[in-house]
């Protein structure tokens, strides 16, 4: 019988669906709701040591709708990391683990380019009982002047150094969260894994401008008449996320076997999750999907993923993890394969030539005659 239970980096999850870092994990109240609804794990909203530097604005979301206006297909945010004091997070991490000792709580952390700050953040989170870390090297907006988020994740040399700092103090699994706002996502992936990261999470949101109001000429979201580029998510980013997850999975398979991969990007159904797992993911994260459909949406996603597994007679997630990776190749190889197929078809047609008078057929007489010609 198919099961969604899985163990990733020693973490035992009831299913592979993970609350992605962001508003759905912004405080203890919503984290508890996620566990009660049955999510496999929760990654809390990104924390830092000094929340006083984090000031959010409103509005901070903008949405792209389908042409009929009935569906949200794109979602932009200019929201920052948690603006709540770290001391409050320490208390809530402890309370969460006291209430759900067997569930997986992951701390998303982000700091400035300072070794002492990263190590302090790791040690204090560990003391609260969190089960793992996700390093936010990927927030595409806000705090770039402090070399935080994507400003750090775009630089493989800095990544190697910072992941090394974290690994020197971490006693729990560590996932490095990649920014998609790079030319080759394999480069920061290798830098993080080389420095010892237990796994990779990808992708974070894509730097974007949602649109411009054609009456006011103001870009969205409009804050006092102005805006700043933000992070793009929801269903529209899924094809990009699939490509990058595939590229990361290839690196892990060939160069760092055994490291884990948590996929993010437009997951809203069990079938979406199946696609990412087929491309090498161990878990799938959902953030915008929760904001669209609520915490209870994990149930139909689990049901659909189980239905997919039962249809194909897969008993565990491992039975089909990475199964589709073998079908990626170069364009030159595609040309070669197509040429070989056409040559084979031509050869096969030649074998159908008439070899004796008894093989002639009235309905195929002209075709048979042409086959015998040069």
C-alpha distances out from residue 323 to 133, 178, 253, 257, 326, Å:
28, 23, 12, 15, 7
Structure tokens at 59: 């509005």
How far, in Å, CA of 221 to CA of 101, rounded? Answer: 40
Structure tokens at 308: 């997919």
Q: What is the DSSP string of 160-176?
A: HHHHHHHHHH--S-EEE
Q: Helices (H), strands (E): how many in the chain?
A: 12, 16
Structure tokens at 249: 């999975």
How far, in Å, CA of 152 to CA of 192, rounded? Answer: 12
Exposure pattern of 243-264 as b/e (b: 16+ CB <10 Å)? bbbbbbbbbbbeebeebbbbbb
Q: Is 302 a catalytic residue?
A: no
Residue 55's Cα: distance from chain center in Å? 27
344: region left, alpha or beta (phi > 0 left; psi from -120 to 50 alpha) = alpha
How far, in Å, CA of 288 to CA of 363, rounded? Answer: 61
How far, in Å, CA of 263 to CA of 273, rounded? Answer: 9
Residue tagged active-site, from 96, 125, 128, 139: 139
Q: Give the three-state DSSP class for 188.
A: helix
- Residue entry with tokens 């490291």: 259
Closest residue by Cα to residue 42 from 100, 81, 124, 112: 100
Residue positions annotated with a catalytic role: 139
């Amino acid at each position: 019988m198919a099961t969604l239970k899985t163990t990733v980096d020693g973490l035992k999850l009831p299913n592979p669906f993970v609350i992605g870092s962001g508003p759905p994990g912004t405080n203890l109240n919503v984290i508890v709701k996620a566990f009660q609804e049955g999510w496999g794990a929760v990654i809390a909203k990104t924390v830092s040591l000094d929340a006083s530097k984090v000031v959010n604005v409103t509005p901070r979301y903008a949405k792209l709708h389908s042409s009929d206006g009935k569906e949200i297909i794109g979602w932009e945010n200019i929201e920052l990391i948690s603006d709540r004091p770290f001391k409050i997070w320490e208390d809530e991490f402890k309370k969460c683990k006291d209430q759900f000792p067997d569930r997986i709580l992951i701390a998303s952390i982000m700091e400035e380019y300072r070794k002492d700050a990263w190590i302090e953040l790791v040690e204090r989170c560990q003391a609260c009982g969190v089960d793992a870390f996700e390093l936010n090297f990927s927030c595409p907006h806000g705090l770039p002047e402090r070399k935080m988020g994507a400003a750090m994740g775009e630089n493989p040399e800095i990544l190697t150094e910072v992941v090394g700092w974290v690994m020197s103090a971490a006693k729990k699994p560590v996932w490095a969260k990649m920014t998609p706002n790079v030319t080759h996502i394999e480069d920061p992936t290798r830098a993080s894994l080389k420095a010892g990261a237990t796994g990779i999470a990808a992708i974070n949101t894509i730097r974007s401008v949602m649109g411009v109001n054609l009456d006011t000429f103001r870009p969205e979201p409009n804050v006092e008449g102005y805006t700043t580029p933000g992070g793009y998510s929801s269903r529209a980013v899924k094809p990009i996320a699939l490509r990058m997850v595939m590229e990361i999975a290839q690196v892990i398979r060939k160069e760092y076997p055994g490291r884990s991969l948590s996929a993010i990007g437009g997951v809203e159904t069990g079938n979406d999750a199946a696609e990412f797992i087929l491309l090498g993911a161990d878990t799938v994260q959902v953030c915008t999907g929760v904001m669209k459909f609520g915490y209870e949406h994990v149930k139909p996603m689990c049901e659909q993923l189980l239905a997919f597994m039962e249809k194909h007679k897969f008993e565990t997630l491992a039975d089909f993890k990475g199964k589709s990776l073998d079908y990626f190749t170069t364009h030159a190889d595609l040309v070669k394969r197509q040429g070989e197929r056409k040559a084979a078809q031509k050869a096969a047609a030649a074998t159908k030539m008439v070899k004796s008078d008894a093989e002639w057929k009235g309905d195929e007489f002209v075709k048979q005659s042409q086959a015998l010609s040069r």
